[in-house]
């Protein structure tokens, strides 16, 4: 699939397939179809912030820098989210404990990927700024996305609206860079891979995303970024037989500690347990 299509074309196909799948689910569940023009304008805004801008910047950035460094830079998303949420939201103020938790998590990601990934830092500065720009765009998307719960929209409807907005915005971009004939000539295996990405890694993922965002808030939703390297390494060990080193365990432990600090509840439970023993 990667050999047949440009990265942005793959993004366009996956959000397009996700949109078709999710609107079918909206119909099956009997959920109301959003008809307000303002809601659709917000879907376009969410698609721009959560898909089009970050995906484009990541594609541009990863052309020039290693994937390991890109993963570390992308893991700054929770830090940017805390800063943006702290500035724009009254109920999610930035605290030193949360910020230190995000820094711990970022350190854990850097340790897991390995110090070698940081060797290129300072080179190709514009490419690195592109990845950081993607992380900042995600942060604004987390804050912007909270409005949909207040409107009473179901997470499936919100997810369908966002990927529809992304699809519409990507159409002119994709057909500027990609020859239409490439889509016609895409292999059966390529279509299968895109379909899996669209239905599960995009459609289902964004339903979960908006569900978590509505219930747990922007910061707790943003920390998912810190878990991506963890699952990548664990699946590599379980499925591909890759070796799990001590440095990976250490990185995971730091990430777990950072997540506990951001959430706050584990420390509250520990404090209560200690008070009971006295």
The model's pLDDT over 36-94, given as tens digits with 9 standing for 90+, comes to 999 999 999 999 999 999 988 988 888 888 888 888 899 999 999 999 999 999 888 88
Residue 260: which domain range?
Answer: 7-277
Report yes or no on 250 lying in a domain: yes
| This prediction's pTM | 0.88
Q: Using CA atoms, how far apart are residues 168 and 162, in angstroms rounded to an integer?
A: 10
- Cβ atoms within 10 A of the Cβ of 201, count? 12
Report yes or no on 32 lying in a domain: yes
What is the chain's percent helix, strand, coil content, to nearest 5?
A: 80, 0, 20
For residue range 189-217, list pLDDT tens digits in order.
888 989 999 999 899 999 999 999 988 88
Cα 147 to Cα 44, 127, 150, 183, distances in angstroms: 13, 32, 5, 36
Report yes or no on 64 lying in a domain: yes
Report yes or no on 83 lying in a domain: yes
For residue range 223-251, list pLDDT tens digits in order.
888 888 888 888 888 888 888 889 989 99
Report yes or no on 203 lying in a domain: yes
- Cβ atoms within 10 A of the Cβ of 63, count? 11
Report yes or no on 239 lying in a domain: yes
Domain count, the chain: 1
Report yes or no on 252 lying in a domain: yes
Q: Using CA atoms, how far apart are residues 49 and 56, in angstroms rounded to an integer?
A: 11
Return the pLDDT at 16.
95
Query: Closest Cα to residue 224, out of 206, 237, 251?
Result: 206
- Cβ atoms within 10 A of the Cβ of 57, count? 20
Report yes or no on 1 lying in a domain: no
């Amino acid at each position: 699939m990667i050999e047949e299509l440009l990265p942005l074309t793959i993004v366009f196909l996956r959000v397009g397939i996700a949109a078709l799948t999710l609107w079918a689910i909206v119909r099956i569940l009997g959920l109301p179809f959003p008809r307000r023009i303002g809601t659709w304008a917000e879907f376009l805004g969410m698609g721009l912030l959560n898909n089009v801008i970050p995906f484009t910047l990541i594609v541009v950035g990863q052309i020039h820098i290693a994937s390991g460094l890109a993963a570390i830079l992308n893991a700054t998303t929770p830090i940017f989210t805390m800063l943006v949420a702290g500035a724009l939201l009254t109920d999610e103020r930035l605290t030193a404990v949360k910020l230190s938790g995000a820094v711990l998590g970022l350190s854990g990601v850097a340790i897991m990927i390995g110090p070698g990934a940081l060797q290129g830092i300072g080179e190709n500065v514009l490419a690195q700024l592109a990845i950081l720009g993607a992380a900042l765009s995600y942060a604004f998307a987390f804050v912007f996305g909270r409005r949909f719960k207040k409107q009473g929209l179901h997470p499936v409807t919100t997810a369908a609206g966002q990927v529809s907005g992304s699809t519409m915005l990507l159409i002119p971009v994709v057909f500027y860079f990609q020859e239409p004939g490439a889509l016609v000539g895409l292999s059966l295996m390529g279509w299968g891979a895109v379909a899996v990405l669209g239905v599960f890694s995009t459609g289902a993922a964004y339903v979960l995303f908006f569900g978590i965002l509505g219930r747990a808030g922007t910061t707790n939703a943003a920390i998912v970024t810190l878990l991506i390297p963890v699952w990548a390494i664990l699946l590599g060990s379980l499925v591909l037989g890759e070796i799990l080193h001590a440095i990976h365990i250490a990185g995971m432990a730091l990430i777990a500690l950072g997540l506990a600090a951001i959430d706050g509840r584990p420390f509250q439970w520990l404090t209560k347990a200690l008070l009971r023993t006295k």
